[in-house]
Structure 1
Amino acid sequence: MTETIALVLGVSMLAAASVLLRHRYWPNDDAEPREDVAEYIAMMVGVLYALLLGLSLVSVWEGRSSAEEHVQNEANAAHEIYQLAGGLPEADAVRLRESVTQYVHHAVRTELPAMAAGEPPGQEGWRLLQNVRTANRAPADAKAVEQVTVQEVANQVSVMGDARRGREADARNGLSPVLWFGLLSGGVLTIAFMFMFGIQRSVSHVVMVMGLTGLITLTVLLVYQLDQPFTGLMAVDSSSFNRYFPGA
């Protein structure tokens, strides 16, 4: 958070210094007549950039929401498997609960921290998930209720696998490079127009440029944070798993 505030303030101060230099070395530019076409172009650039910012924010917010939903579904499925194990014979229940607990421990202690560091989760999680699937079996003389339990556990294992697959996809996916280019170049262009249409009072000009620059910088940083759903201040963490498995 401190780094974000420092970066916003730093960029804003740099823009303010540029405005002061402009008023100092090119003071006569303010007296130049304004052209309606140029002002219209500047307005359109601002409107189009606002649309681009909105599109980017919606895109990354949906990506983060998807990541949060996948982690929640994965944790819910693991919890359901743990609870359903009670419907199996004791030895089978213990085996199933141990396998799903191992999977959750690996997800919480290894995978999510690795994803927070920007690393892929790896294949160990899939092996542990396969162990859960293998542990889900009933004896040959299983009762009807036990057979139903095995089937329901199999369904939850499938849900957990789909959620895990979605979580890995969320870590790989990100905002399009085209949108990133538009965000950065459009921000620079929008701020540059503030220098082309100067204001007679330098103080007012400085305040306007600082405000616009700070707001654009903050918004781009917000897009950057949301574009990485498992890292940063707004990261999707292991709280969903910890809710059901406090010792994970």
Structure 2
Amino acid sequence: MNVIFASGAVAGKAAKSATSTIPIVCLTGDLVKAGLVKSLASPGGNLTGISILTAEASAKRLELLIQIVPTLERAAVFYNFDDLTASLSVEPTKAAAAKMQVRLQVIGVHGQSDFPSALAAAVNANVQAIALTSNPLFDIAGQQIAELALQNKLATVSFADSFPEVGGLLSYGPSIFAEYHHAAHFAARIIRGAKPADLPVEHTTIYKLGINLKTARALNLKVPEMLLASADTVIE
């Protein structure tokens, strides 16, 4: 085996625990705060990769919800209990909610089987919208979450650019497919002889906005023209 690819902090931690010699390329929120590397400039050890999370992007997702749901007073943020970097999404969302005078319900899940009860908790809290933190679980289960949210008439926003394609209302974040390609370049450099310890961790720099108009209509929501014009992807 030449290189291990790990998507998410949990997978990165497991890979690093399993080997100290095989090179690892990890794609996750923040490699430093997850304890996976010593620093961005000098990762050390056998792991390097790409950090895809910023506080600004987490806050921006809540701002986007407010643009489409201008009467938003209560929202929920879902996070993965097992995500070592969950606070990097949750805390900026909480700060943004306080600034925008939105009451925020923080709801944790362990896996896909928890989503029905998580949605029930959100409904019981009278939320109008749900923001999903940056975690592979919410990308994998995007369609399930979108369907449950629509059944309960809740607006949704995710980091995953695939979310509107499976019925979610909004997405704002990096292109996951593009970041996998980015990670492949890391792997190629390692295969050619570079050491992970010498490859600085890189950050996502391009964020994309996706909107599903069909879902917006089903929720009786009007998407502002300026927001629609700024979208990179629009699902009709």
Alignment TM-score > 0.5, same fold: no
**Higher helix content, 1 or 2:** 1
Could you say which structure has the larger radius of gyration?
1
**Greater relative contact order (Cα < 8 A, sep 6+):** 1
